[in-house]
Amino acid sequence: MSQLENAIAILLQTFDDYAGKEGKKDTLTKREVKTLLEKELLLQEAKNPGEVDKLMKKLDLDGDSEVDFNEFMTLVGCLACAIHFSTI
């Protein structure tokens, strides 16, 4: 498996790991987003419900109060771009 294939496989698995905890298996509930932020990104802000609500609003592009894989990949893209452009 190449680097790129490996990274994509990890993203797919990460999403499935958290989306599978409760509710629909193919979306992240607010609680699953909170857990993902705390565990995967060590974001202390995720302990603040208000902050999670704010991020959910930004991620939840279709307004269904959940984060689907498309919306998750938007988060990943934003994070990766923020890191990339902060290091050049």
Are the C-beta atoms of residues 69 and 77 closer than 8 Å to each other?
no
Q: Which two tokens stand for residue 2?
A: 């190449």
Pick from 5, 7, 8, 31: nearest CA to 18: 31
Residue closer to a copy of itself by CB (options 3, 50) is: 3
**Options 45-53, 58-66, 70-78: segment touching a copy of itself (CB under 8 A):** 70-78
Is 23 buried (19+), middle (13-18) or exposed (0-12) by CB count in 10 A? middle
**Binding letters toward a copy of itself, positions 24-63, x by CB under 8 A:** --x---------x--xxxx---------------------
**Residues in the site for a copy of itself, rule: CB under 8 A?**
2-8, 10-15, 17, 26, 36, 39-42, 69-70, 73-74, 76-77, 79-81, 83-85, 87-88
